[in-house]
Amino acid sequence: MAQMNPKIGEERPIIRQLDEDAINRIAAGEVVERPASAIKELVENAIDAGATRIEVEYADGGKSLIRVIDNGCGLSQQDLPLALARHATSKIDGSDLLNIQSFGFRGEALASLGAVGRLNICSRVDGFDAFEVTVDGGKMHPVRPSTLRQGTRITLKDLFYATPARLKFLRSDRAEAQAISDVMKRLAMAEPSIGFSLRDVGTNRTVFQVQAEQGDLFAALRGRLGQIMGRDFVENAVPVDADRDGIKLTGYAALPTYSRGAAVAQFIFVNGRPVKDKLLLGAVRGAYSDFLSRDRHPAVALFVDCDPDRVDVNVHPAKAEVRFREPATVRGLVVSGLRHALAGAGHRASTTVSDAALGAIQVHSEPRVYQMDQSRRPMRLAETQALFEHAPSARVEVVDNLPKVDGPLGAARAQVHENYIVSQTEDGLVIVDAHAAHERLVYEKLKAQIHENGIKTQALLVPEIVGLSEGDCDLLLRHAEMMSTMGLGIEPFGSGAIAIQFTPAILGQFDVKSLVLDIVDELHDVGTTDQVQKRIDAILSRIACHGSVRTGRRMSADEMNALLREMEATPHSGQCNHGRPTYVSLAMNDIEKLFGRT
């Protein structure tokens, strides 16, 4: 027996127009998810108002108090009540929803905050008196005179008091405070020319503070990133500056050897707006896929800029997602721009590798023995022999005329444990993992050969037939020419199927259907694919590993120095194919500190 829908009574349901308060509370659920969301909206409004200094205060993780103070253009007495009306904004006129050149434009934030909390706005336009207005749970009080030197001060108390059910879904004060800090740091990265401060008034503690940066784009950004992401990041990052078809990519990308265990240091901005975009994050992973293992993640701060009509920021009320008109072009720009920047770093490895090496060295010191306490008898022959009871596992290559130290990686002096090259530089020493370094060199040579000569293919005696939906078949066939250049030949095969005619010879025998399905998924996801290239690179990496200098092989001085010179001339030689460093550099002053010589 069929059961009645409990949501439908016996009488016909009646359609009603919701009142304004209910509409604003519903909108608040989309725009204001948590205190950090409220602060994001208010700080973005301050940036749009032309502020050069923005101060944020909060208490109890933003649940009981949020205050944002700026020195922007301010709101007039007449604008204050209108600013609190839903879908009222000064950013757009509604005629073109694609030409968005500001952070805010929907006109929902203030009305939503006033519907779920106790909101007070005090503002002053230069040359006029200050005024304020208060909204309490959606009820607006009259505008009245106030006092304020400049800009706007917005105070939000008791967030979600008008919708108590929402309070139950907030996390602990500490977690909400961390989310607020993350939002502020992202906005501070986007606007290096603005000074920001974040203060927890409940604990009377300044959580975050940065001054406005001066200089050109890269100098200002480098200074701001150094304050937020840390000095280690900027010291081990390379500038990114690329463009394609009117789309520009700038920012900083860390060396592969400066990687993280999770994707917590990836910051991406589109036309200055912080976003968490799946397409762009996937492009970053793709750019680093040749240098990092799967369990390591790159650190980047990247800015994509294009004409506003080429990207839709009106995808979600929170404006954290965007949609590009030409996603394949944008993804290609990010991948090629990052790889070009990393190639420009040459053989560099991150300084954190050397720091970790110094930290791992254990300095052993014995109680000081003075000369008067030492025995004056000479050391016996048996005692000297005991010192060398075990043959040392280091071999010094004796050279009458030591080679000149003229390269960044210096001149080889010894080989330790039949693998590690010890090299002397002008101001220190370098320890090189010969196997890892040669593996990268061979890998880069193999890639260059394939790029120069093309990918050799193997024709299948019996074409592989892969059944797909009509839509997937059409999608693949639209990219058939591109896949052919990668060594994968596809043709239509009746209705709902394609035929694979040839495959890359270097892949040998493999699961063709699995590869095709992966390509389809990636084409749906990001509009382009590099699945074939990834598999080819994986094969080349394995070949390079087996064809490189093996641990245990004794190398002559000439061989060691030839390896060093080739590393200096080869991009990406600072890390092996799995993202591990190929060498450690130790400065002389750091070595002398270990022995107390400074």
Note the pLDDT tens digit of each residue in 564-592.
999 998 888 888 877 788 898 888 888 88
Q: How far is Cα 567 from Cα 207, in angstroms, rounded to an integer? A: 44
Terminal-residue alpha carbon distance, the chain? 90
**For position 401, what pLDDT does the model report?**
58
- Is 136 a domain residue? yes
Q: What is the pLDDT of residue 384?
A: 40
Query: Are 188 and 257 part of one and the same domain?
Result: no
Domain shared by 203 and 222, yes or no: no
Do residues 48 and 175 share a domain?
yes
pLDDT computed for residue 385 by the predictor: 45
Task: Look at residues 160, 195, 210 and tell me which one is the last residue of a structural domain.
Answer: 210
DSSP state for residue 581 in the 8-state scheme: B
Residue with tokens 């200050």: 130
Per-residue pLDDT, averaged over 383-387, amounts to: 43
Tokens (6 digits) for 349:
């490895």
Instruction: Compute φ and ψ for 127, nearest 5 degrees.
Output: 95, -5
Rounded to an integer, the average pLDDT of 247-263 is 91
Q: Residue 222, Cα to own-chain centre: how many angstroms?
A: 15
Q: Pick from 139, 151, 164, 19: which is nearest to 84 by CA?
A: 139
Please indicate, yes or no, whether residues 174 and 224 belong to a single structural domain of this protein: no
Distance CA 74, CA 49 (A): 7
Pick from 344, 363, 394: which residue ends a domain?
Answer: 344
Which among 195, 210, 225 is the end of a domain? 210
CA–CA separation, 500 and 476 (whole Å): 11
Q: Are residues 110 and 202 in the same domain?
A: yes
Are 46 and 188 within one domain? yes
Residue 378: per-residue pLDDT: 47
What CATH number is associated with residue 317? 3.30.230.10
Which residues, other chains included, contact 484 with Cβ-Cβ below 8 Å and sequence gap of 6+?
490
Q: What pLDDT is stored for residue 346 in this prediction? A: 75
Examine residue 424 and state whether it is found in any structural domain, yes or no: no
Q: Which amino acid is at 115?
A: A
Q: Are 290 and 571 in contact (CB under 8 A)?
A: no
pLDDT in tens, 462-490: 999 999 999 899 999 988 888 888 889 99
Task: Establish if 552 belongs to a structural domain.
Answer: no
Are residues 191 and 222 both part of a single domain? no
Among the listed residues 84, 151, 150, 87, the one whose alpha carbon sits nearest the alpha carbon of residue 120? 84
pLDDT band of residue 373 (cuts 50, 70, 90) is very low
Residue 121, beta-bridge partner list: 133, 154
Q: What is the helix, strand, coil percentage profile of the chain, to 5? A: 35, 25, 40
Residue 265 in any domain: the answer is yes
Please report whether residue 358 resides in a domain: no
Q: Which of 323, 319, 320 is nearest to 306 (CA)?
A: 323
Same domain, 226 and 195: no
Burial environment of residue 357 by CB neighbours within 10 A (0 to 12, 13 to 18, 19 or more) = middle
Mean pLDDT of 369-381: 44
Nearest-10 crossing angle of helices 531-547, 434-453: 130
| Domain presence at residue 145 | yes
Distances (CA, A) of 405 to 409, 411, 428: 8, 5, 11
The CATH code of the domain that includes 89 is 3.30.565.10
Give the whole-angstrom CA distance, residue 161 versus residue 128. Answer: 34
Band of pLDDT at residue 386, cut at 50, 70 and 90: very low
Range of the domain at 38: 20-210
Q: Residue 21's pLDDT is what?
A: 64
pLDDT band, residue 62 (cuts 50/70/90): very high
Tokens of 109: 């934030």
Tell me, what's the pLDDT at 379? 45
Question: What does 246-309 look like in DSSP terms, one character per residue?
Answer: TEEEEEEEE-TTS-BSSS-SEEEEETTEEE--HHHHHHHHHHHTTTS-TT-B--EEEEEE--GG
> Do 258 and 151 share a domain, yes or no?
no
The SS3 of residue 484 is: helix
Question: 421 pLDDT band (50/70/90 cuts)?
Answer: very high
Six token digits for residue 209: 């503070």
- Dump pLDDT digits (tens) for 145-175: 999 999 999 999 999 888 888 888 899 999 9
Pair (194, 229) in one structural domain:
no
Closest CA to 503 of 513, 517, 493: 513
- Rank 239-253, 407-421, 501-515 by mean pLDDT and report only the highest: 239-253
Residue 135 resides in a domain = yes
Block residue for tokens 């590393």: 567
| Domains in the chain, number | 3
The answer to whether residues 248 and 157 belong to one domain is: no
Which residue in 505, 377, 497 sits closest to 450, CA to CA?
A: 505
**What 3 state SS string does 379-396 have?**
CCHHHHHHHCCCCCCEEE
Closest CA to 221 of 208, 204, 235, 239: 239
State the DSSP string of 17-58. Answer: PPPHHHHHHHHHHHH-SSHHHHHHHHHHHHHHTT-SEEEEEE
Cα(339)–Cα(537) distance, rounded to whole angstroms?
A: 15
Residue 130 located in a structural domain: yes
524: domain CATH number is 3.30.1370.100
Q: What is the mean pLDDT of the chain?
A: 83
324 and 202 in a common domain: no
In 10 A of CB 380, how many CB atoms? 9
pLDDT confidence of residue 396: 55
